[in-house]
Amino acid sequence: MTNERRWADTSGLPPAPDATAKPVTLAHVARLAGVSENTVSRVIRDKGSIAPETRQRVNAAIEQLGYVPNRAAGSLASSSSLIIGVILPSLSNIVFPEVLRGINAGLSATPYRPMIGVTDYDLDIEHQLIASLLAWQPAAIITTGFDHTVGARRMLENSRVRVAELMDIDNAPIDLAVGLSHHEAGRAMAHHLVQRGYCNIAYVGHDWTADRRAHARYVGLCEGLAETGLSLVAECRTDQASSTLEGRKTLSNLLSGGVHIDAVAFSNDDMAVGGFMHCLAVNIAVPEELALIGFNGLEIGQVLPKPLTTVLSNRFAIGKTAVELLLAGVQRPDETVKIDTGFSIVEGATA
């Protein structure tokens, strides 16, 4: 059963002859094909058994009339829609457009469409968005992380739509989680630095209240260091969201502390790139005087005069995998599933 067959594209190129006049409905197609509406519906949805000859006649009629099914009617009748609700924390950070790109890629050969909402990292907004998306009776809701308001969690649990929680797999999902262990990623950063011979390691971070995953990496980092008998020699955290500017300022802050530091682990690449710029500005040799490691594997880090050493998170794969698994089963399975899309150290030139 190929995608081509499953999602037979009924809205093909021959366009509706005149959409103003009277929208073409199933009834028109049925009349022209000489069958009942229901049969047309079954042909379109590829459901039940249909005589090849009938199918062909119906498809011809669809084509001839340029019929485009009314999704609202379909949704109402079946109390479920071909909508995938997608809730993202932000669109400013390139990470989430990439997840969205993955989601879109997974959806593009299907009749499902993503309907999106952006929370700005606010759980109350997420709650409202969930309510508002649920009003469309979507096939699935995709959101990020495991933090939700009590009400939001209940709405998701009670509704029988499928739910994917992306980015993270360090907790118990409602239905499906796709992402990576940020705790493990943090540990890996520690081990990478230690292996490279750095032992005066510091941390530069951004606001954790919104970004729980950054915190998980921090914890993993500390744990990884502890495993080799080390611990952070210094750390500095801004209470702002991450950005190159904050990274630059926060590193500057950290270094003014006077502690001897030979490597800095950043909460993410934006911060690390900012840190790199600070080094450039005050003439600190990277990595000879100070090594830097980021997290995410953004393009921007790889475009620096020295490519940033970082940890690649597979954002595109997270989105795509989530969609594929969600569409594989319409029913929510009995047990929750976690999918690890992994991460990998990008050996740049800064650590």
Report how far residue 256's alpha carbon sits from residue 270's, in angstroms, rounded to the nearest whole number: 21
In the list 50, 199, 234, 277, the residue contacting its own copies (rule: CB under 8 A) is 277
Yes or no: say if 185 and 313 are a contact pair by the CB < 8 Å rule: yes
Listing DSSP states for 195-248 in one string gives HTT--SEEEEE--TTT-HHHHHHHHHHHHHHHHTT---SEEEE-SSPP-HHHHH
Tallying the residues shown for the chain, one arrives at 351
Smallest distance from its own copies to CB 287, Å: 17
Write out the H or E segment, with its range, that includes residue 266: strand 263-266
300 binds its own copies (CB under 8 A): yes
In the list 8, 117, 123, 219, the residue contacting its own copies (rule: CB under 8 A) is 117
Alpha helix stretches (DSSP H) within the chain: 3-6, 26-33, 37-45, 52-65, 71-78, 95-107, 123-134, 150-158, 182-195, 212-227, 244-255, 269-282, 299-302, 315-328
* Residue 45 interface partner, choices DNA, its own copies, none, CB cut-off 5-8 Å depending on type: DNA
Smallest distance from its own copies to CB 195, Å: 29
| Bridge pairing between strands 310-313 and 343-346 | antiparallel
Identify the bridge partners of residue 162 per DSSP, sorted by sequence position. 140
* Residue 295 interface partner, choices DNA, its own copies, none, CB cut-off 5-8 Å depending on type: none
Among positions 4-43, residues that touch its own copies (CB under 8 A) are 9, 11-16, 18-20
From the list 29-37, 228-236, 271-279, 295-303, the region that binds DNA by CB under 7 A is 29-37
132 binds its own copies (CB under 8 A): yes
Please give the structure tokens belonging to residue 53.
């000859």
71 binds its own copies (CB under 8 A): yes
35 binds DNA (CB under 7 A): yes
Q: How far is CA 226 from CA 266, 270, 296, in A?
A: 18, 26, 23
Of residues 149 and 200, the one with the C-beta less far from its own copies: 149
177 binds its own copies (CB under 8 A): no
Among positions 154-173, residues that touch DNA (CB under 7 A) are none
Helix axes 26-33 and 52-65, enclosed angle (nearest 10): 130
One-letter amino acid at 89 equals P
Of residues 23 and 333, the one with the C-beta less far from DNA: 23
Report how far residue 351's alpha carbon sits from residue 334's, in angstroms, rounded to the nearest whole number: 45
Report how far residue 170's alpha carbon sits from residue 173's, in angstroms, rounded to the nearest whole number: 9
* Residue 160 interface partner, choices DNA, its own copies, none, CB cut-off 5-8 Å depending on type: its own copies
Smallest distance from its own copies to CB 7, Å: 11
* Residue 113 interface partner, choices its own copies, DNA, none, CB cut-off 5-8 Å depending on type: its own copies
Of residues 24 and 214, the one with the C-beta less far from DNA: 24
Among positions 64-103, residues that touch DNA (CB under 7 A) are 67, 69-70, 73-74, 76-79
Binding site for its own copies (CB under 8 A): 9, 11-16, 18-20, 68-73, 75-76, 79, 81, 83, 91-92, 94, 97-98, 100-101, 104, 108, 111, 113-118, 124, 127-128, 131-137, 151-152, 154-155, 158-160, 244, 273, 277, 280, 299-300, 303, 305
Binding site for DNA (CB under 7 A): 23, 25-27, 34-39, 41-42, 44-45, 47-51, 53-55, 67, 69-70, 73-74, 76-79
